[in-house]
Chain A
Amino acid sequence: MTPDSLTITPTNDSERYIQDRDLNLTAAVRCKSYGLFSSLLASSHEIDVGKQLREVAGMDNFCVYGIDLGALCGTYLSVDKLARKNEYSRLFEIGDSGPPVAIREQQQFGQISGIREDLVRFYEFFDYKIHQHYAWAPDHISVILEFTHLLCYYESVVSEDQLSYQLAQYDFVSRHLVDWAPIFADLIDNVQPDSLYADIARSLCLFITRDHEWQASTIFPMERSGDNG
């Protein structure tokens, strides 16, 4: 980070606006979906997400982008608690020289700088304050998903300037989820295919990819020249 903002990257040369988006149909659903994925990927050593998941597991046909979230939550709840904790920590939290699969974005993309700064700036901008206990890992995938969930929540409840939250969601997912989710899923597949978290990661990957696509389809005009990945 810099004392003053120095490396100004190129601005979009056109302003963006949202079209073809029915808030009533989409905002709450997406909010809930991101929230669920955040819960599914939280550490069960730290957080008990049973209540949130049971709600949804009970719903018929909670399908989002063709992904049966209700069933996924049900699967999660059906796995033995201890087995689930062990699976989680062995994949994401402990290991000989660290865990085999990075659950923090900076861990995954060690070479690329500025990830945590970008996250923290987003969080600050939208008054998302992480509890001191988790503050050290703002790039934890569960936290990143939770923040996205918050943005969707705001989109669904504010009375004006939904645009801020809509554009923020898109940019945030573009910068912090859309590239990572497939890698995350692939790594888990390599280490422990046929596991609960392999399922969750695959579903997440699908969800992110499709949601990102859908979001993009509602945003006009998009930047046309070049791409900075």
Chain B
Amino acid sequence: MKRTQKMASPPQMPASKGRRTFLRQLLASSTLLTLNHAPIAASAPQPSGEKAYRNFEDIYRKKWTWDRVVRGTHGTNCAGNCAFNVYVKDGIVWREEQQGVYGSSGDAPDYGPRGCQKGLRHSKYMYGSQRVLYPMKSIGERGNGKWERISWHQATTEIADKFLDLVVAHGPECISYGSGTQMALKRASFCSLARFANITGVTVPEFLSGVGDLPSGIQMTLGQIHTSDTMAAVYKSRCVLVWMSNPAVTRIPDAHFFWDAKYNGTEVIAISPEFTPTAMHSSLWVNPKPGTDTALAMAMVNVILEERLFKANYIREQSDLPLLVRMDNKRFLRAEDFATQSDATADGGGFYIWDEATDSVARAPGSGTGNDQAATLKLGKLRPALEGRWRVQGLDGVIEVTTAFELLKVRAAEHAPELMSELTGVNANVIRKIARTFAAAEPAMIFSGYAACKWLHGDILQRSMLLLLSLTGNIGPEGGGLQIGNSAKTQTMAFAFDGIGVAFRGISGTTWDYDHAKMKQLNQETYGKKLAQEFDDYYQESIRKGWYPSHSSKGWKMGFFAGNNGANWRASGKRWRKSALEELELIVSLVPDAGVTSHYSDYVLPIAHHYERADMMLQSRTPYVQVLDVAVPPLGEAVDDWEANRLLAEAIGRRAKERGIGIIDDVIDGRRVQRDYRRCLELYTMNGKIKSAKDVCQYIIDTTPGIPKIPFAELAEKGVVRVNGSERTTWDDKETTYHSEVFESVRDKVPYQTVSGRQSFYIDHEWFLEFDEALPAHKKPLHNEGYPLRMMMGHARHGIHSMWRDDSFLLSLQRGEPDIYINPDDAAERDVKDGDTVRIFNDAGEFFAMAHLSAGIQPSMLFMYHGWDPMMFRNRQNFGAVISTAGLIKPTSMAGGYGQIGYKPARFSPNQTYKDFTCDFEKASEEVTAGEPA
């Protein structure tokens, strides 16, 4: 408190002659007291002795108590959704603390309190300046930073009008509605999008492949993509390869299971080029060069085959390795090849084995249709040979056949450890050692992540991982398997279709962009005409064959982005902004926080944050359903996603009526669908039955298998509720919500949903044969000519995508700005010191970041955590600037007509490539850093 001079001038000018009049006027005026922000206070309290104010400490004497403690979590896609208590006083959230009520799965250690530092920051972050509080409309040129605050009514009305203009002129297909990290995993929120999309027919790009998260290699092999168990399953494993995943950074609430397992005798082997925080605590760290993981996997396969460490009976029954392959054309021997088979079916069903018991060819159990054998994988009396060569009488003469297993041996021999050692940089002894350890462990697990999907040839890596697991009998047992992801069988789409029918336009995010964002040109510029042409040829061929739909006919004219910061992470940075985003006639963002995508939007609609809404989450990593609840009302004029879509539906319906827009004809998957936009709102709310997100949650609770049938209020009160049938660490109970079909095949011998009915390692689709990918093999990753360094990226510890990345406290625990990890020798060569600003570049672009030297980084590579929003970089260019891979649609990923391999959004479609590029770095020039605060 500053000392002040006495005799400062009083409020009124002394002795002004109008003063008395003025005072009289003032006192006579309407109530002296005006409270705009509070209901009128009662007449003044008369403070008694203890209530007297004498000093500011007096206000601190009263014990701080909470008005309410609410259960909640952070509805983002870290897939943790940890149980928190949220503390509220006077309508403000002050802090949160983990609820601490988790139990355990089986006899594994309990889940503990879970939670992470980001969740603990949310009570601060939610009030930050980055919050979008009011509907905003862009004034002038997109991205110029000039905005107008408008009402929800005005916003939705204008958006509805543009929406209807486009629908009438082109049909709803030209309008996209993409969800992202901040929306997609909250069940009620996603239901709201799905139902809105089902009613309106907007194009919904699924977000798995769009962000490079689609494990299509698993789909190719097992006929499903969701295979993982709870995190506790790690404890049940005897050997875990942590490969393409960094759980110490990305699975913070559950990483302890790895170290618990290690203490319990499990061999935890971290495989990564750089020394990760996961490698730090592992039993072993293996450091292959970036992009050589498949070579390493196949070298391990070679060891297992050569040293006969495989589980013969398992692969005979479960895999396609015993199936007979024609040596002339390398295709499976099929029913139609036989002259004598009278029940040969034309659908490609029916594969063969060589039965050692009878020394003759026999139908493989589980394949084909129309016979009893097809219904089960049980071998009965059959003993399928794994090795050998035989001759069979075919339609056109003698056919020489061998097993897929034999062909695999040849392929594996090409990847012998001694041959792969130099390529991978891993000593051959080390390869042998880990292969043997893996094969000897019962069970063994590969704990992987979506990084396995982001290489152009990531599908092959997944296939080789599954091969390792299958050869050793590890697909199926508790503590085994490929742990990448699993999806709840919530009735989201049933909710969307309820009372309407199926009229949903879901597509692949990658091909949508390819069609709309000049990707062939990008490929040309980066990888050369030959590759660009080849990739495009197959792309167009696939469409001609009807394997994939074309998106180019209607164009892309409008985009909704809900919790989706596409301009942050698209694999071509600013370029995508220019070639795709900026071409749109209207861009609408629905977000809680500002980000680069909202900057380029025409309308930004404020969305409620995690503690301001009711919703629910389920993630397979723990056996619990988690609630989100309204601790405080949404800030400003924000609303939750359900309500936002309701307001849009209302405006569309109203304007359609006012404008006399009648029924619009549409076509979905070849079926005619009629859309009456005037009925948008009533359809959306199921004729008023669904009034809020809570009602949506109740619908999900009521209809999803495995969730106890309780009222939402009970879930809100408890915070977490255990899912039925989840005593074990695996989701092997049909009644539970994450049930993985793998168990049906392994335990109950039900055939896989693949062409052969078995785990498919040999894929004889014509395109796979053309590219010599019928079996997995190492394929060199692409690079940018003239640029020697691989820049690897990973999910960050201090943010979930771009959320919390700009939190001031978390930034203070880092370097305050985006930093990139560099090997000290590489840095020294370029005269770069720790803390210098560096320019990272290739022909596609450049960006600037702070150099962070670390001896944990492999030479000739860089490492950067992702999620930093372009707004945090100079020139608003983040790492996307050097990533030129968006157009790399792998030809075999456009294949179709082959059972499990064929267009199925969110199961099989081209995956977004992120990693096949190279770059270089140098110290940033003086001009770049001139003028910045020292």
A residues at B contact (CB < 8 Å) = 1-5, 8-9, 11-12, 15-16, 24-26, 28-33, 35, 38-39, 42, 45, 47, 49, 51-52, 55, 59-66, 85-86, 89-90, 93-99, 102, 106-107, 110-111, 116-118, 120-138, 140, 142-143, 146, 149-150, 153-154, 156-161, 163-165, 167-168, 171, 174-175, 210-214, 216-217, 222-224, 227-229
CA distance A222 to B4 in the complex (A): 9
In the complex, the answer to whether B26 meets A32 with C-beta atoms within 8 Å is yes
CA distance A99 to B262 in the complex (A): 50
CB nearest to B133 among chain A residues: A93
Contacts of B132 in A (CB 8 A): 94
Contacts of A165 in B (CB 8 A): 53
Take A29-B11, A216-B8 as given contacts and tell me if A128 and B36 are in contact as well, using a CB distance cutoff of 8 Å.
no
Take A86-B148, A150-B35, A168-B53 as given contacts and tell me if A127 and B41 are in contact as well, using a CB distance cutoff of 8 Å.
yes
In the complex, the answer to whether B11 meets A30 with C-beta atoms within 8 Å is yes
Contacts of A159 in B (CB 8 A): 46
Fill in one digit per residue for B134-150: 1 if any A CB lies within 8 Å of its CB, else 0: 10100000000111110
Q: Would you give the shortest CB distance from B402 to chain A, in whole angstroms? A: 63
Return 29 A-B CB contacts under 8 Å, by A number. A26-B12, A35-B33, A42-B36, A61-B16, A63-B16, A64-B11, A93-B149, A94-B148, A96-B145, A96-B147, A96-B871, A97-B871, A98-B129, A98-B594, A107-B129, A110-B129, A111-B808, A127-B41, A135-B92, A136-B633, A142-B37, A154-B44, A157-B32, A158-B44, A164-B54, A210-B9, A213-B9, A214-B8, A224-B3
Fill in one digit per residue for B9-39: 1 if any A CB lies within 8 Å of its CB, else 0: 1111100101000110111011011111111
Max chain A CB contacts within 10 Å: which of B10, B32, B43? Answer: B10
Q: Would you give the shortest CB distance from A57 to chain B, in whole angstroms? A: 12
Take A28-B27, A64-B11, A217-B5 as given contacts and tell me if A164 and B53 are in contact as well, using a CB distance cutoff of 8 Å.
yes
Contact residues on B (Cβ < 8 Å of other chain), bracket:
35 or more
In the complex, the answer to whether A61 meets B633 with C-beta atoms within 8 Å is no
Interface-lining segment among B60-68, B163-171, B192-200, B749-757: B60-68
Within 8 A of A (CB), among B412-462: none
CA distance A156 to B23 in the complex (A): 13
CA distance A5 to B36 in the complex (A): 32
Contacts of B89 in A (CB 8 A): 120
In the complex, the answer to whether A131 meets B37 with C-beta atoms within 8 Å is yes
Take A89-B134, A93-B133 as given contacts and tell me if A134 and B26 are in contact as well, using a CB distance cutoff of 8 Å.
no
CB nearest to A220 among chain B residues: B6
Contacts of B18 in A (CB 8 A): 60-61
In the complex, the answer to whether A25 meets B47 with C-beta atoms within 8 Å is no
In the complex, the answer to whether B44 meets A157 with C-beta atoms within 8 Å is yes
Q: Would you give the shortest CB distance from A213 to chain B, in whole angstroms? A: 4
Q: Would you give the shortest CB distance from B631 to chain A, in whole angstroms? A: 11
In the complex, the answer to whether A25 meets B10 with C-beta atoms within 8 Å is yes
In the complex, the answer to whether A35 meets B34 with C-beta atoms within 8 Å is yes
CA distance A217 to B60 in the complex (A): 26
In the complex, the answer to whether A160 meets B32 with C-beta atoms within 8 Å is no
Max chain B CB contacts within 10 Å: which of A24, A25, A140? Answer: A25
In the complex, the answer to whether A116 meets B92 with C-beta atoms within 8 Å is yes
B residues at A contact (CB < 8 Å) = 1-13, 16, 18, 22-23, 25-27, 29-30, 32-39, 41-47, 51-64, 89-92, 94-95, 127-134, 136, 145-149, 594, 599, 632-633, 635-636, 808, 871
Contacts of A133 in B (CB 8 A): 633
CA distance A190 to B89 in the complex (A): 36
CA distance A158 to B10 in the complex (A): 21
Contacts of B36 in A (CB 8 A): 38-39, 42, 47, 49, 142, 146
In the complex, the answer to whether B11 meets A128 with C-beta atoms within 8 Å is no
Take A32-B26, A66-B13, A149-B34 as given contacts and tell me if A123 and B41 are in contact as well, using a CB distance cutoff of 8 Å.
no
CA distance A148 to B4 in the complex (A): 20
List the 6 closest pairs (A to B, CB-CB), nearest first. A135-B91, A98-B129, A89-B149, A216-B4, A213-B8, A164-B53
In the complex, the answer to whether B56 meets A175 with C-beta atoms within 8 Å is yes
Q: Would you give the shortest CB distance from A166 to chain B, in whole angstroms? A: 9
Q: Would you give the shortest CB distance from B929 to chain A, in whole angstroms? A: 22
CB nearest to A156 among chain B residues: B32
Q: Would you give the shortest CB distance from B932 to chain A, in whole angstroms? A: 18
Additional A-B contacts beyond A1-B64, A8-B60, A35-B34 (16; CB < 8 A)? A15-B54, A25-B12, A30-B11, A39-B36, A89-B134, A94-B132, A94-B134, A96-B147, A97-B130, A97-B871, A123-B90, A128-B41, A130-B38, A146-B35, A150-B33, A164-B53
Contacts of B38 in A (CB 8 A): 128-131, 146
In the complex, the answer to whether B129 meets A102 with C-beta atoms within 8 Å is yes
Out of B6, B134, B136, which one reaches A217, CB within 8 Å? B6
Contacts of B6 in A (CB 8 A): 217
In the complex, the answer to whether B23 meets A28 with C-beta atoms within 8 Å is yes
Q: Would you give the shortest CB distance from A121 to chain B, in whole angstroms? A: 4
CA distance A129 to B30 in the complex (A): 22
In the complex, the answer to whether A25 meets B23 with C-beta atoms within 8 Å is yes
Out of B22, B52, B130, B149, which one reaches A59, CB within 8 Å? B22
In the complex, the answer to whether A31 meets B33 with C-beta atoms within 8 Å is yes
In the complex, the answer to whether A127 meets B12 with C-beta atoms within 8 Å is no
Out of A60, A94, A121, A171, which one reaches B147, CB within 8 Å? A94
In the complex, the answer to whether B8 meets A5 with C-beta atoms within 8 Å is no
CA distance A134 to B52 in the complex (A): 27
Contacts of B127 in A (CB 8 A): 106, 136
Take A26-B11, A93-B149, A164-B47 as given contacts and tell me if A136 and B23 are in contact as well, using a CB distance cutoff of 8 Å.
no
